[in-house]
Amino acid sequence: MIDLRRRSLVRRLVLIAGVWTLLVMLVAGVFLTAQFRGAAIRRFDQSLAVLTDDLYAGSSVDDGELRAPFLTDIRATRAYSGRYWVILDKQRDGAMRAVERSRSLFDSDLMLSSRQVDQLDAKPGKTQYFDLRGPQDKPLRAAAIQARLPGYPDPVVFLAAEDRSPIDADADRFAGVTAIALLILGVGLILAVVVQVRFGLQPLFRLRREVAAVRRGKTERVDGAYPDELEPLARELNALLAHNQEVVERQRTHVGNLAHALKTPLSVMLTEASQQPGQLAEVVERQAQTMREQVDHHLRRARAAARSQTSGERTPLEPILDELAVTLERIFQDKGVQIDWRCPEDLCFQGEKQDLMELAGNVMENAGKWCRGKIRVEAAPEGEARLLLTVDDDGPGLPPEERAQALKRGQRLDENAPGSGLGLSIVDELARAYGGSVQLGESPLGGLRVCLDLPRAEA
C-alpha cells in the first residue's frame, strides 16, 4: 500500500480525483448502456407483440382444426430470415405441439422451456417476453401469449420471435461509443484536476521556495503575499524566524556583556600588577593575558554560533571599506598610512555587517601595522557567487614558509589556543565560517598580499 502521507500533495489529489472519476464514469457507462439496451428491447418487443396480437386475433377454429391467419409479413416466409412465428397447442399432458408455423422456420421448431411454459400458464391472456434459442442456434427475442380459442379444446400459445442480434449489435456499438466518450471526458477531467492542483498549489510551492531561500540566507523572512489559507502559515513562519533571531541575539548580548564586563577588572589587575613588580605581578599578568584571550575567543565563538542560525543579511562593501579606510588612517596617522581602495558600488557581501568589518578591518589593520605607508584594497566580484577582497601593503611581506605558518595558527584557534600577532587567525576563522578562505601571497607593492575569498550576495 502506498503511504499517502508521504506522497506529494499533487499526486495525492490527482490520485483521489482519478479514482473517483473512473468510478463515476464506469457507473455512468454501465447505466447508460443498460438504459439504451432496455429501450431498444422494449421497442423490439412492441413490434413482436403486434405480431402475436395479429396471430391471436386472426386465428380461427374450423372443424376443430386451428387455422392461422394469412400474414403478409414477407420476412416470415423466407427460410431462416430471422423472423418467426408459431402457434402451439398445449396438450393435456403439458407437451407443446406446433399447430401452425411460419414458413421461415422451415424444418426447425421453437421450443419453450418448462419455466417459460409455467410463466405463460400463470398469466393467461397476457403477452410475455423471453429470450430463446432459434434455428442455427441464433439468439432470439420472443413474445408469446397464451389463450383459449372458442371451439378449441386445448389452450393455445401464439409465439412470435425475431433474431435479436441487430439490437445487441446496436447496444454493443452504443456501449463502445459511450465508453470512448466517457474515457475522453474522464481523461479531460483528470487533466483539468492536474492543472487545477498545480495552479492551485502554486502559492505552496512559492512558500517552499521562499523558506528555502531563508535557509540558504538569501532573504531574512518570508515576504510574498499569500492566499488566506497560507497567510497564517507564512505569518507563523516569520514569527518563528523573528523569535529565533531574538533568542540568538539575546544570548549573544549576554555573552557580549559578560565578556565586556570582565575587561575593566582585567585592566585594573594588569595595571595593579605592573605597579608592584615581583613574582605575583608576573603570574597575575600572565593569567590576566590568558583570561583576555579566552574572553575574546569565546566572544568570537558566540558570534559564530549565532551566525549559523541567523542568516539572510547582505552587506554592501563600499561603505564598509570607506569607513574602515577613514578609521585606519586615523589609527595609523602618526605613520602617515595611505589607503587606496577600489570597490564596485553594487558589490555585496552575503553575511553580517559586523563580520565583514572584522574580516576587512583585521586584514587592513594588519597591513597598516606592517606597511611603510601604502595600502591598496581592491574588491571585485568573482565567478557566480563569490567576491575577492585583496589587500596589498608595501611592507616587508612574509616569506612563503611563514605564510603557511600564519594561517596554521588560525586553525589552532579551535583548540583553545587563540592569539596571533598577525590578527589573521581571526580572519581565517571567520572566513571559514562563511565558507571562504584566506590566501597569503606577494604584493606587487613589495609587501604582503592578503586575499579573502567570500560569498557574494546578489545586488
Partner 1 sequence: MRILLVEDDPDLTRQLKLALADAGYAVDHAPDGEEAQFLGETEPYDAVVLDLGLPKVDGVSVLERWRRGNVTTPVLILTARAAWSDKVAGFDAGADDYLAKPFHTEELLARLRALLRRSAGHAAPSLSCGALRLDPRAARASVNGEPLRLTSLEYRLLHYMMMHQGRVIGRTELVEHLYDQDFDRDSNTIEVFIGRLRKKLGADRIETVRGLGYRLIALEGESA
Residues lying near partner 1 in the complex (CB under 8 A) = 259-261, 263-264, 266-272, 274-275, 288, 292, 296, 322-327, 329-331, 333-334, 337-342, 353-354, 357-358, 360-362, 374
Q: Which pairs count as long-range contacts for 104-109, CB under 8 Å and 24+ apart, including other chains?
A: 104/75, 104/76, 104/77, 104/78, 104/79, 104/80, 105/135, 106/79, 106/80, 106/135, 108/134, 108/135
> In the bound complex, what is the minimum distance in angstroms from residue 361's beta carbon to partner 1?
3
How big is the CA angle at 327 (ends 298 and 409), to the nearest 5 degrees?
35
CA distance 458 to 305: 24
Nearer to partner 1, 174 or 370 (CB): 370
**DSSP assigned state of 4:** G
Buried b (16+ CB within 10 A) or exposed e, 86-113: bbbbbeeeeebeebbbbebbeeeebebe
> In the bound complex, what is the minimum distance in angstroms from residue 362's beta carbon to partner 1?
7
CA distance 212 to 217: 8
Looking at 85-201, list the stretches that DSSP marks H as alpha helix, in order from N- to C-terminal side.
Answer: 114-122, 165-200
In this structure, the strands spanning 448-457 and 314-316 are: unpaired
Nearer to partner 1, 374 or 449 (CB): 374
Nearer to partner 1, 183 or 268 (CB): 268
> In the bound complex, what is the minimum distance in angstroms from residue 359's beta carbon to partner 1?
9
Nearer to partner 1, 136 or 275 (CB): 275
> In the bound complex, what is the minimum distance in angstroms from residue 293's beta carbon to partner 1?
11
> In the bound complex, what is the minimum distance in angstroms from residue 287's beta carbon to partner 1?
12
Please give the grid coordinates belonging to residue 121.
400458464
Nearest to 100 by CA among 114, 115, 85, 90: 85
> In the bound complex, what is the minimum distance in angstroms from residue 304's beta carbon to partner 1?
13
Nearer to partner 1, 337 or 450 (CB): 337
Nearer to partner 1, 132 or 320 (CB): 320
